[in-house]
Chain A
Amino acid sequence: MSKQMTGAEMIVQALKDQGVEVVFGYPGGAVLPIYDAIFHQNELRHVLVRHEQGAAHAAEGYARSSGKVGVLLVTSGPGATNAITGLTDALLDSIPLVCITGQVPTHLIGSDAFQECDTTGITRNCTKHNYLVRRIEDLPRILHEAFYVAANGRPGPVVIDIPKDVQFATGTYTHFKNIQHKTYQPQLKGDLSKIKQAVEMMTKARRPVFYTGGGVINSGPAASALLRELVRLTGFPITSTLMGLGAYPADDRQWLNMLGMHGSFEANNAMHDCDLMICVGARFDDRITGRLDAFSPHSKKIHIDIDPSSINKNVKVDLGIVGDCAHVLEDMVRLWRTSGARADQAALAKWWKDIDHWRAKDSFAFRISSKIVKPQHAIQRLYELTKDRDVYITTEVGQHQMWAAQHFKFMEPNRWMTSGGLGTMGYGLPAAIGAQIAHPNSLVIDIAGEASILMNMQEMSTALQYRLPVKIFILNNQYMGMVRQWQELLHGGRYSESYTASLPDFVKLAEAYGAHGIRCADPADLDEAITEMIETPKAVIFDCVVDQKENCFPMIPSGKAHNEMLMADLSDDAGIEIGNVIDEKGKMLV
């Protein structure tokens, strides 16, 4: 399997050998040899984005919706620095990416050459790992190793920085199959004695709850299937983080909805009052825990995670199990079955009564209006009108993102792509492009805010070039709504710079790009307009003009505990007085 070829040819060959079908990229001086190698073949598809940040998010959307590694190719200097936000986003949300960056030739490195930047230096802390390839001899191994590192263990972005002279050099290419890294070998199987201990704790639990996260999605569809089996076997309630939505079907009785800052009343109260928390592939992030010293004070905690550093990082747990979710869940299901384990039914029945009581609060409820479109209502209608289709949803960041998480129901993993850890406005459109490339015949919708969408609007041009029928569903409140909400909470409603004046006419903007534009401001027209969007066989920008004042509830104000949630006041249109709920300590937090 050895062959003489240039570095540029090796790159294309290695991508093919890794089963890569598509690369998102943008050319430039330091990657021209690679672009030439791409030109000379037809198997590897290149998608030309309009900004390198778009390439990174598109690769993320592709990866998250397909379970494969996403690949991007950018030039040195500004190409690499433009990709940084996307790499950081992938690091925080554990998305497997391989990013190939061009670099100035080796003899110019360190001389402040044209379009030189210290790419490995800059990306060291925003990648899982990175390489600078100084010798053609190292290139084939590094190319294959990068895929191994990106995809195995806790997934993440890997950068390979390749100087131009190495791209031109000739060497021997070897296809390293099933490469193993000499030092990086994550543990997949969980310690069986600990899993036994976990099962025992579960049989004794009186108020248990499953708290699951993005790790279940990353582990693959088997993990979701096993999670469903275990949850049904035990009869326990289950909640999930923003990143884990879809691992468990949202229409199931045991599902408590999302937890955390904008999670449901029942999920957060169950977390607070439980006596056993079984955390699967989540990381006790501050959006989830709220006030740490009041976090679930009476529970024993089990934490299953592939990354040992996640265990005991923010919250001390009683039993940490290092391993891949699917492997550990498989052992748990088997042990539960073979040991004839049974949950404490009487206690569980009582627990469910408490939960049903919290559920009855209907914490995602909102007041519908006949005059003005309520953003939550728009999402509900979007869900109802698309639920029988093959749908992938991405989002931008803000209130609309939280409303999408609350009101769109996900039944399957890999259907929901959102920037959770980094909270990157501008993620949704390129991610939708990536998801649409992976699923050309599916309905891909970016649920957007009017501010966020403008951050990577240029990618409309990419969507049109490749005839990608992505739908951009903008909940247009003319505000950076989430910022406005926090200004009400913390700064006396002084809306410093959070109102967006001079918004473009989104319908005309759609037309300018060659897409279809729809505007809807009347609740009576909503269904018809959404149907028009779904049935349009090309890219659509849907300007959904919504209530400017609506705030996102329920909410755990910063610095507060799970059982101190703020609820929406449905009695009056003015909304609730939220000005004084955060104390001095809480103001410090984000």
Chain B
Amino acid sequence: MNAQAPQSAPPSPYSSAVGKSNTESHTLSVLVDNEPGVLARVVGMFSGRGFNIESLTVAEVAHETHLSRITIATSGTPEVIEQVRHQLERLVPIHSVTDMTLLDRAIERELAMVKVRGKGENRVEALRLADAFKARVIDATIESFIFEITGAPRKIDDFVDLMRPIGLVEVSRTGIAAISRGPAPI
């Protein structure tokens, strides 16, 4: 029953009586009215209540109806994830919140651009790996490449890890977009 908090913060007897060891990552898909301030509301709710944001993407998805989809990767115990969902649902301009992680076989994708610097054998190795990951070369100089790669976040993590010893310079990632499989909408 007792919370296992990190050393720096002593466990508060008022903190939620659930362990923090069973932390899970969840991806939430949030359909919102595309009105000024809506992203600030969502982000402010996360920071104000101490929830995590691991990645966040937002873009308009239906121009005529002014709908945007915000996809948020968050982490916490199942109780915290449930709170996050309910707190999102309370925000007035929010249409729906779907926990994609609880959906059967939802698809999650992310795009990354990965800059690698190197010469000689390292260049050949970088290209070989990119090929194996189906990453495309979108920029090249005699001493660098930029690869574009899409896939599940884990695949991108793996690719980046492999590039590190070869000469990784920097990475720019879009954050996760998610959708459900099959004909029905989310």
Binding site for B on A (CB under 8 A): 120-121, 124-125, 128-130, 132, 149, 181-184, 286, 289, 291-293, 295, 307-309, 311-316, 559, 585-586, 588-589
Residues from chain A with a CB closer than 8 A to the CB of B2 are: 293
Smallest CB-CB A-B distances: 5 pairs: A309-B86, A129-B92, A291-B13, A559-B13, A293-B17
Measured CA separation A313–B16 after assembly (Å): 8
How many interface residues does chain B have, given as a range? 20 to 34
Measured CA separation A286–B17 after assembly (Å): 13
Interface pair B36/A124, CB less than 8 Å apart = no
Within 88-137 of B, Cβ neighbours of A (below 8 Å) are at: 89-90, 92-95
B61 to chain A, nearest CB (A): 15
Other-chain residue from B13, B18, B93 in contact with A586 (beta carbon distance below 8 A): B13
Binding site for A on B (CB under 8 A): 1-3, 10-18, 33, 36-37, 40-41, 44-45, 48, 79, 82-83, 86-87, 89-90, 92-95
Excluding A124-B40, A316-B18, 6 further A-B contacts by CB distance (< 8 Å) are A149-B92, A293-B17, A312-B82, A315-B17, A316-B17, A585-B10
B45 to chain A, nearest CB (A): 8
**Which chain A residue lies CB-closest to B92?**
A129
Interface pair B17/A309, CB less than 8 Å apart = no
Interface pair A589/B48, CB less than 8 Å apart = no
B51 to chain A, nearest CB (A): 12
**Which chain A residue lies CB-closest to B96?**
A183
Residues from chain A with a CB closer than 8 A to the CB of B86 are: 308-309, 311, 313
B40 to chain A, nearest CB (A): 6
Measured CA separation A129–B86 after assembly (Å): 16
**Which chain B residue lies CB-closest to A309?**
B86
B47 to chain A, nearest CB (A): 9
Other-chain residue from B40, B41, B89 in contact with A309 (beta carbon distance below 8 A): B89
Other-chain residue from A184, A289, A313, A588 in contact with B92 (beta carbon distance below 8 A): A184
Interface pair A309/B92, CB less than 8 Å apart = no
Interface pair A181/B92, CB less than 8 Å apart = yes
Interface pairs (19), CB distance under 8 Å: A121-B40, A125-B44, A128-B92, A129-B92, A286-B14, A291-B14, A292-B14, A292-B15, A292-B16, A292-B17, A308-B86, A308-B89, A309-B89, A313-B86, A316-B79, A559-B13, A586-B13, A589-B12, A589-B14
Interface pair A312/B12, CB less than 8 Å apart = no
Measured CA separation A132–B35 after assembly (Å): 11
Residues from chain A with a CB closer than 8 A to the CB of B10 are: 585, 588
Other-chain residue from A128, A183, A289, A295 in contact with B33 (beta carbon distance below 8 A): A183
Interface pair A312/B44, CB less than 8 Å apart = no
Interface pair B37/A183, CB less than 8 Å apart = no
Measured CA separation A315–B1 after assembly (Å): 12
A153 to chain B, nearest CB (A): 8
Measured CA separation A286–B15 after assembly (Å): 9
Interface pair A124/B41, CB less than 8 Å apart = yes
Residues from chain A with a CB closer than 8 A to the CB of B92 are: 128-129, 149, 181, 183-184
Measured CA separation A280–B177 after assembly (Å): 40
B183 to chain A, nearest CB (A): 25
Measured CA separation A486–B41 after assembly (Å): 36
Residues from chain B with a CB closer than 8 A to the CB of A308 are: 86, 89-90
